[in-house]
């Protein structure tokens, strides 16, 4: 019998503190108008001084467990996508495991920047399909605000903090239809945080992005991943009920929606309210659209993301 993984529940969490474009006008040489027109962002949430990435992840995970009607002890795999772990080690997944009082199951982080959640879902899906796991907690959580040079208007206006989670369970029906992952490290210099452990922590600890070049590669690459995903599933554009894109820039999202011939009311958009929350953006958007009743059981969803690395990928699923 073929095993599939199905979404049993979704959850999310946003820090209380909100930073509007107006607030940023007072911090850096920018305007609300420029940010709205070039990105679609109106505001973003920012973690408080004592709030960590695992705090956000825990809240989203508990939310998803409640939605699925499950207890932490039902989980037998934790995969956490983050670029902003609380510590170098233990992994954020292990820290989350401890918070949830789960013992013994595999727990690890996946680092693919903004594509992190797509990577994490793809990995968890493979654990479930092979019969290794029956119930996986997959989290995308970020405190990207801590990687920002607030004086760099090219990055500081774009990002926000948050967390989203899904519970995937084994099922004899899909579920996840397919996942597609890619990376090309040749683009490492276009989007990076140069500092690291291996180089004795030399280099800037803040994000550096050649935004315009990233934009151009993102639009063409996301167009290709849409084609690849539909072709692999033998589907066409009309089979997709909802696009849940990574939320980097409304113009990138609109370009992908055009490629799919989808009206914008079939696209889940949160970039206006959340900014770019990196690995958290897709599960945050997913949870929002499930909770407000837009996304219903049986509908076909396409998730796609592009981020530092470069990394890119997609998840096609029946909810």
Q: Closest CB to ligand ACO among 81 and 252?
A: 252
Q: How far is CA 272 from CA 43, 78, 244, 247, in A?
A: 6, 30, 14, 9
Taking the C-alpha atoms of residue 314 and residue 212, their distance in angstroms, rounded to an integer, is: 23
- Is 154 a binder of ligand ACO (CB under 6 A)? yes
* Minimum distance, C-beta of residue 215 to ligand ACO, in the bound complex (Å): 4
CB of 201 to ligand ACO, least distance (A): 20
Q: ∠168-301-12 over CA atoms, to 5°? A: 55
Could you say whether residue 278 binds ligand ACO (CB under 6 A)? yes
Catalytic residue among 45, 63, 135, 246: 246
Does 153 bind ligand ACO (CB under 6 A)? Our answer is yes
Annotated catalytic residue within 114, 135, 249, 274: 114
Rg from Cα positions in the chain: 18
Q: Which of 72, 194, 211, 223 is the binder for ligand ACO (CB under 6 A)?
A: 211
Distance in angstroms (rounded) separating the CA atoms of residues 149 and 156: 6
- 149 part of the active site: no
d(Cα 15, Cα 48) in Å, to the nearest integer? 7
Question: Six-digit token pair at 81?
Answer: 């996508």
Encoded one letter per residue, x for contact with ligand ACO by CB under 6 A and - for no contact, window 25-64 reads -----x---x---xx-------------------------
Residue 28 exposed, middle or buried by CB count within 10 Å (0-12, 13-18, 19+)? middle
Burial category of 173 from C-beta neighbours within 10 Å (exposed 0-12, middle 13-18, buried 19 and up): exposed
Three-state DSSP class for residue 122:
helix
Question: To the nearest whole angstrom, how small is the minimum distance from the Cβ of residue 178 to ligand ACO?
Answer: 23
Q: Does 137 bind ligand ACO (CB under 6 A)?
A: no
Q: Does 194 bind ligand ACO (CB under 6 A)?
A: no
Is residue 220 involved in binding ligand ACO (CB under 6 A)?
Answer: no
Cβ contact 271:250 at 8 Å: yes
Among 163, 14, 170, smallest CA distance to 81 is for 163
DSSP structure string for 203-226: S-SS-EE-HHHHHHHHHHHHHHHH
- Report if residue 253 touches ligand ACO, rule: CB under 6 A: no
**Binding residue (CB under 6 A) for ligand ACO from 308, 314, 315, 316:** 308
Residue 249 annotated to the active site: no
**CB nearer ligand ACO, residue 102 or residue 191:** 191
157 binds ligand ACO (CB under 6 A): yes
Smallest separation, CB 157 to ligand ACO (Å):
4
Answer yes or no: 105 catalytic. Answer: no
Three-state DSSP state, 246: coil
146 is a site residue for ligand ACO (CB under 6 A): no
User: Catalytic residue numbers?
Assistant: 114, 246, 276
Residues that bind ligand ACO (CB under 6 A): 30, 34, 38-39, 113-114, 153-154, 157, 191, 211-212, 214-215, 218, 248-249, 252, 276, 278, 306-308
């Amino acid at each position: 019998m073929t095993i599939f993984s199905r979404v049993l529940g979704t959850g999310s969490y946003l820090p209380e503190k909100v930073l509007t474009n107006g607030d940023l006008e007072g911090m850096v040489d920018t305007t609300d108008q420029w940010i709205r027109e070039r990105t679609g962002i109106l505001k973003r949430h920012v973690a408080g001084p004592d709030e960590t990435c695992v705090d956000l992840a825990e809240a989203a995970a508990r939310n998803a467990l409640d939605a699925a009607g499950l207890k932490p002890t039902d989980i037998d795999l934790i995969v956490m996508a983050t670029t902003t772990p609380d510590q170098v080690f233990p992994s954020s997944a292990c820290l989350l495991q401890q918070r949830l009082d789960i013992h013994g199951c595999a727990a690890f982080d996946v680092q693919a920047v903004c594509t992190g959640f797509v990577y994490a879902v793809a990995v968890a899906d493979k654990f479930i399909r092979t019969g290794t796991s029956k119930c996986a907690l997959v989290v995308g959580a970020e405190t990207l605000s801590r990687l920002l040079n607030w004086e760099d208007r090219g990055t500081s206006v774009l990002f926000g903090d948050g967390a989203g989670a899904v519970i995937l369970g084994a099922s004899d029906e899909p579920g996840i239809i397919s996942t597609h992952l890619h990376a090309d490290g040749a683009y490492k210099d276009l989007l990076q945080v140069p500092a690291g452990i291996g180089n004795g922590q030399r280099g800037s600890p803040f994000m550096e992005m050649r935004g315009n070049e990233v934009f151009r590669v993102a639009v063409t690459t996301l167009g290709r991943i849409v084609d690849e995903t539909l072709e692999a599933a033998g589907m066409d554009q009309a089979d997709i009920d909802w696009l849940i894109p990574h939320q980097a820039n409304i113009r990138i999202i609109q370009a992908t929606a055009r490629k799919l011939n989808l009206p914008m009311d079939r696209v889940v958009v949160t970039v206006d309210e959340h900014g770019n929350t990196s690995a958290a953006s897709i599960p945050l958007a997913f949870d929002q659209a499930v909770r407000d009743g837009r996304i219903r059981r049986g509908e076909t969803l396409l998730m796609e993301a592009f981020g530092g690395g470069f990394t890119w990928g997609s998840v096609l699923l029946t909810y």
